[in-house]
Structure formats: C-alpha cells, structure tokens
Chains A and B, each alone.
Chain A
Amino acid sequence: MKTLEELKAVREKMEKEVSLRTHGGASSKYEKHVLVCGGTGCTSSGSAKVIEKLKAEFAEKGLTDKIQIVKTGCFGLCALGPIMIVYPEGTFYSRVNVDEIHRIVDEHLIGGKPVKEFLYDETVNGDEIKSLDETAFYKKQHRVALRNCGVINPECIDEYIGRQGYQALGKVLTSMSQDDVIKTILDSGLRGRGGGGFPTGMKWKLAKNIVPNADMKYVCCNADEGDPGAFMDRSVLEGDPHVVLEAMTIAGYAIGAKQGYIYVRAEYPIAVERLKIAIGQAREKGMLGKNIFGTDFSFDIDLRLGAGAFVCGEETALMTSIEGNRGEPRPRPPFPAEKGLFQKPTILNNVETYANIPQIIINGSEWFASMGTEKSKGTKVFALGGKINNTGLVEVPMGTTLREVIEEIGGGIPKGKKFKAAQTGGPSGGCIPAEHFDIPIDYDNLISIGSMMGSGGLIVMDEDNCMVDIAKFFLEFTVDESCGKCAPCRIGTKRLYEILDRITKGKGELEDLDRLEELCYHIKANSLCGLGQTAPNPVLSTLRYFRDEYIAHVVDKRCPAGVCKDLLHFEIMRDKCIGCGMCARQCPASAISKTDYIAPGKKLPAMAIDTSKCVKCGACIETCKFKAIIKK
C-alpha cells in the first residue's frame, strides 16, 4: 500500500466484517462469527483444542462458509478460560468443554438457541441472556489500550486496518510535522505506563532536539514485562501486535529515527510469534520499510528476546542487553534521549504506552485528556490476580477507586474471606490496606500512600496471607534479580531478606524493625537504578500498615495468618477426634499416633501429634474430615 486511498479501501471492506463483533448485524459475508481466545491464559486451559473441534464440527455439518472462526487475543476474563463468544448476539461461553462443543454447534449455531448451562453465570438472568458488555466485569471498563484485544484476529493485518489501524500513521506522515506529533502527545498528558509515569511527549521532545543532526536514533519498546503478576503488555502483544508497530513508527517519525527494537520476554512465546507475524505483514504491506505511504520516511523494527533478567526492564539495562552484554544499568545522566542504545539518542516506551498513541492521534489530545484525573490522564490496564473472583485484565479510567476495581469489577474475594491488602507495582510497589479502599487510583495518589502504579499488576490478598511473608517473598525476588553492580542493592537487599527471614522464623527482636526501616532508606537513597531504589517498598509499606503483624511475629512469636511454619504448631483437639487414623496414615513424618484417651461418645482412642517430629506440612489438616486438627 502506497497511498491513503488504498488503506481506506481495505478499511471499508474490513470494517463491515469486524463491526459484526462490535455493533452487531452489519454486512459481514458470514452469518455469525465465533471468537475463541488464543491468549496465554486460554491457550493454557485448552483453547487450541476448542478451535480444532469447532473446525471439525463445521466441516461435518456444512457450516464452514457460513460461520467464521476467529482466534483472538485476550478477552480479559482469564479465570473463565477457555472462552468463546458468538456474534452478533455476543453470547459468552466460559470454561468451554471440548466434549460439549457439538451441543453448542447443534443447539445454538444451527438451532439458534444458546446453551444456557455453558454460559458465563453473570450473563444469564432467568430467561434473559445478557451480552458480555452488560456484565459487572465489563460495564465499568473503558477500553482504549485493549480496544482490539478479543475483537480482532491478531494474525491478520486487514482486521486491524478494519478497526482504524494504520490510520494514525497515515495521518501523521501525510499531514503532521514532527513537532505537531510531539505537541499532540504532550497535550494529551499521556504518562509512561511501565511504572515511572514520565510524560511520554517530553521524552519524545528531548530525543528529537537534544542532539542536533544525530546520524542515528532509535525507538525501543519495553516488552520485558517482568513484574510477577502483571500481564497487560503480553495481552496487548498477543491480541493487538500491530498497534505497537504503528505507534513505534509514529514515534520514529516524531523523533527522526529509522530503526526500532522491541525487547520482549522469551517467556512469552505466543507474543513473540504474533509479533514476528505482524512485522512480516507490515513489511509486506509497506507499513514498515522504505518510503512508507510514498513519503521519504523509512522505518523498520526488529525483535530482541530477553533472557530472563528482571533488571532488563530498567531502561539503561535493557539497552545494555540489546547491545549484547550483561544487562546491567548505567548511571544517568546521560539520559537515553541523549546517549541511549549504541550511544545514540533513543526513546524507550512501554507496550501499553504505545497502545494509546494511535488513538490519541486519531481522536486528538483533548479526547484523551478528558479521561482520568488532573495529573494522570487516560485509562490504565490492571492485571487482577491473587485472591479475587474475576482474575484477568481490566482497563479503567485513571481515578477509579480500588473498591470499584476489586469489589465491582473483580467480584470480590472468594470464599467469603476478608480483604487484607492489595499489592500494586510488583516488587517495586507496596501493599495498600483496606483503609485506602476509596482512594482514586492514579500515579501520585499511589505514591503518597507508599506504593506505586508500576506496570499495573494488582494482586489481592486476604486474611490468610501473612504480610511479613509477602515482604520476604518480594525481597527474595529482588535479591535474586539484583544485577550486583552497585553495593546498596546487592548487599542491602540481602541483609533485608535475612532480617525478614529471621522474623518469620521467630528469631526476630524488636530492634529489627528499626534496623529494617533504616536500611530501607539507605538502599532507596543510594542505589544506582530503579530496581534498588524501589526494592525496599514492599518492606516499608507493610511496616507502615501492618506493623501489628510484625510485632506479633517478633514479640509473641506468632503468625496471625498461620503462614510462617516455624511459628505454627499443629494440635489435635482430642474431644473432636474420632480416632479414624486417617491423619496418621497421611503424615509423612510418622508424627501422629494413638493415645489412651477416648472422647465421650466416640468409639476409638483419639490421636495426638508429637510436635518434635512434626514437619508442619499440613497434610493432616487437609485429610481430617472432622475438623479436629488446628494450627495456631
């Protein structure tokens, strides 16, 4: 494609097809579209088999020309996978069972009556079947970055074009100057979605102007999503890879770069594959390569795979890694805008940041700035995980409260347990207690309560999670992932971990809490890069909000949540024990044996645990049907 007209022709043709999935009932050449999620979550729960089975059924029953099967990216509700949606109705099947697909084909696709028992509960209300958009999970969401995820086939560039794809690039190259583009992004108020929250337009402006007449500049995409529990970038790459390519090309034009690199985690094989396909298609259609849209602007993108180092999510470490070295960060300044990749001016943005760019160009900066709070504009994608009913991806306007996200969209805590904390920002963030449930989520509010936005992982914890153990878990992570270049991080995190480990083993003392705090501030102030500067956050925030739990561990030698094994002991309540002996058979340490005591009303002697032999594995508790064993 060399002209806007050619792009428009493809768009008009494809718009009809894909709008069947968004507005219902347009003139697709197929009667129905069946969308099956091909994201990592659903693939793990077997969606590939669902597609295979559907194809076989369609071939057998002559539906192949009437109904289109589309493998899409993530719908967001990963807990319910594999997921399948039938359009134009929008009926939502969850946890699809391959052996039951013939019923969906016969009764629904042929017979016209959805099979209610396989539908997502929330969409069924008596005789009425709601579409997905009307469920509590989707209603409050506002999808900008995820607008194509779960809607288009990510391996088909034409479907992307049918959803306004490459329109923004066309507009930029044919009617905007470099400064126009940068001004639009600046005015929109878009801030980096990877964690830091630095204004994106500012980054671009610096990279364009700071080194006059630079012979080479680079545009990089940080897709090294390392925060455990965060998977929004992966979902964008899997569900809408072209949006990233388009946005990077726009960035390349704005700053005057010819080459882009996407640094993506090797742990995301599906995302890598889709990116390869997308790059191939974009080159073929002339959206990447020489003289894009017939202008004198040329740009190309290559992939670089990460190799499992968390620190490579830090911008200078990422560039060092692309250069083929140990991924260690460099001191700043010089900032990457001046000396970045291969010592040339470079911008690095995160996947979700890029996913917003084309829409900002098409709809204007005012449209984007109308969403969100005063200092944080637009929407944010969160990966809900942990102890929450609707695990998955949600995108909400900035300023939505934690309560809305967890209780309304997330559907609350399973098994009626009590909410204890929400962890945001991964190993760099903190734990937010229930008292801050109504604070509007944005960059600045989260920092003021001792956490941070991070990339958007949001892990919910309930009364069964021990906060000291969680702090220790994160420190174990940072000790492991610290690159070792600077002493405050390399040695400091190790010492923090040791103190926490001591506390969870019942060997802590009250002074340890002060030692922790002091050490935390030293590490924060003196580390070279963001990893070390934020590594103490999980400790500081749990100390701030859950000090009573630390004190219980240190003073009372007790773990209130019942997690820290060294502080637990198991006991059989002899009056509840019927003496069946199941526990003794399960015990791997042979620590349970019969006593002489027979409880009133029971026939057999009660069992007892020899605490000197007990390894505290908890196998006995799981086996006992009579709830006669407790841990305390």
Chain B
Amino acid sequence: MGSAKATVPFSGTPEQEAKLLEVIAEKQNEKGALMPILQKAQEIYGYLPIEVQTIISDKTGVPLEKIYGIVTFYAQFSLNPKGKYKVSVCLGTACYVKGSGDIYNKIQEKLGIQGGECTPDGKFSLEACRCIGACGLAPVLTVNEDVYGRLTVDDVDTILAKYSD
C-alpha cells in the first residue's frame, strides 16, 4: 500500500491550485469530506505530493500527519507521478490462475522497471492491480482506459508497441 517518497520535483500550476481550493470550499462542510477531497485532488494533480497535502491541511485544518496517514493507507493514492501510459496487470485470483503473473514479469523485464515504478522517460508506469472484475476475459491488463483480455505472454510486445508515441 502507498508508495515511496517522490523523487520528481513538484510542478503544480496556479490553475490547479485554484481548482483544488474550489473543491475544498465546496466539500469542506460535508461529513467525512476528507476522502472525496483527496480523490478530487488526485484527479487534478495526477498524484498527491506533500505540497498538495499541505494545501489541504492548511485549508481544512486537518493535521498533515493525519492526511499523510490516509494517503499512504489507500492503494489508490499515489505519492509519485504516474507515467503517460499507466499499465496495470490484474493479479486477481481468476487472472492469476490463468497466468497473469507471467505477463506481469514479462512487462517488468521488457520495460526494465519494477511494479510501482515509472520508466525514466516518464512514458510507462507499471502496477499490479486487484480484480477489475473482467474475470471472464482473464488474464487482463489495462493501459490507461484500454482493456486487453484473453492474453498470452506473447501479446505483451504487440500491446506495448501500440503506445510508441
């Protein structure tokens, strides 16, 4: 769960910050608003670096350590930016028994990164995900919004080649 400390410098824009402040103002008074605010913040910035957490803490009055605790608790929140293409391989049970573990290994080998990392050029990031519910198509992987199913190890090259730009 969670991820290691960010190594990429923060480059948030004033527009992003304005949007975040708007979200905070809108949700602040709802009960249990912190989760929806963090989810929106991640939508705006793509990830939740300490700088963004600090803004949320300052505006909501929730201590930074509590926010950090939440961000690192949930798998969906990331302290690191993701690649332009987010590859995620399902390692849920149905996919696993049909060999998604081999596909995951092959992609790590091919991209030269481990799960949870991003290639140095910022193009691909890789993660293992739990069931996305497309068990009928197992084994499955997704690249951003595209879903690829009924895979074999040999399909990996062809799929990655589609994202060459």
Contact = CB atoms under 8 A, between A and B. Distances in A.
Given A309-B74, A457-B93, A385 B138 contact: yes
A473 B93 contact: yes
A309 B136 contact: no
B138 A44 contact: no
A325 B134 contact: no
A348 B72 CA distance: 26
A309 B36 contact: no
Interface residues of B, number: 41
A326 B130 contact: no
A387 interface: yes
A326 B67 CA distance: 9
Contact of A226 (B31, B74, B130, B149): B130
A480 B132 CA distance: 17
A236 to B, nearest CB: 12
A473 B96 contact: yes
Nearest to A457: B93
Given A322-B32, A386-B93, A386-B97, A41 B131 contact: no
A470 B140 CA distance: 19
A459 B130 contact: no
A321 B73 CA distance: 11
A588 to B, nearest CB: 8
Interface string B114-156: 0000000000000001111111111010000001010001100
Interface in A466-502: 470, 473-474, 477, 480-481, 483
B36 A267 contact: no
A231 B39 CA distance: 23
A79 to B, nearest CB: 4
B32 A304 contact: yes
Contact of A228 (B36, B39, B92, B98): B92
A310 interface: yes
Contacts of B159: none
B106 to A, nearest CB: 9
A383 B38 CA distance: 32
B31 A342 contact: yes
Interface residues of A, number: 58
B69 interface: yes
B32 A308 contact: no
B34 interface: yes
A226 B75 CA distance: 12
B75 A385 contact: no
Contacts of A459: 93-94, 97
Contact of B137 (A41, A234, A322, A327): A41
Given A304-B36, A326-B73, A423-B93, A268 B136 contact: no
Given A321-B35, A387-B98, A307 B135 contact: no
A80 B136 CA distance: 8
Given A267-B130, A267-B133, A321-B35, A307 B138 contact: no
A231 B70 CA distance: 27
Given A324-B34, A480-B1, A45 B149 contact: yes
Contacts of A230: 131
Interface string A216-230: 000000000111111
Nearest to B134: A44
Contacts of A461: 97
B137 A45 contact: yes
A349 interface: no
Contacts of A428: none
A41 B134 contact: yes
A210 interface: no
Contacts of A77: 136
A426 to B, nearest CB: 7
A307 B136 contact: no
B104 interface: no
Interface string B1-37: 1000000000000000000000000000001111110
Interface in A3-57: 40-41, 43-45
Contacts of A387: 97-98
A315 B139 CA distance: 30
A470 B135 contact: no
A81 interface: yes
A305 B39 contact: yes
B68 to A, nearest CB: 10
Contacts of B47: none
> Which of B129, B137, B140 is most buried by chain A, counting CB atoms within 10 A of its CB?
B137
A437 B81 CA distance: 49
A44 B93 contact: no
Contacts of A231: 131, 133, 135
A164 interface: no
Given A307-B77, A324-B32, A325-B70, A229 B135 contact: yes
A477 to B, nearest CB: 8
Interface in A203-248: 225-231, 234
Interface in A375-409: 383, 385-387, 391-392
Nearest to A226: B130
A483 B92 CA distance: 19
A306 B32 CA distance: 13
Nearest to A305: B39
A465 interface: yes
B80 to A, nearest CB: 15
A309 B134 CA distance: 19
A86 to B, nearest CB: 21
Complex A-B, nearest 8 residue pairs according to Cβ-Cβ distance, in ascending order:
A78-B136, A228-B92, A385-B94, A308-B75, A307-B74, A324-B34, A44-B147, A308-B76
Interface of A: 40-41, 43-45, 77-81, 225-231, 234, 266-268, 304-310, 321-327, 342, 383, 385-387, 391-392, 423, 426, 457, 459, 461, 465, 470, 473-474, 477, 480-481, 483, 588, 618, 622
24 contacts: A41-B133, A44-B140, A78-B134, A78-B136, A80-B136, A229-B92, A229-B94, A229-B135, A230-B131, A306-B76, A307-B38, A309-B1, A309-B75, A310-B130, A321-B35, A324-B32, A324-B35, A324-B70, A327-B73, A386-B94, A391-B138, A392-B136, A457-B94, A477-B130
Given A229-B131, A231-B133, 19 more contacts: A228-B130, A234-B133, A266-B76, A267-B131, A267-B132, A307-B39, A308-B76, A308-B130, A310-B130, A322-B35, A324-B35, A325-B66, A342-B31, A383-B135, A385-B135, A385-B136, A391-B138, A483-B73, A588-B109
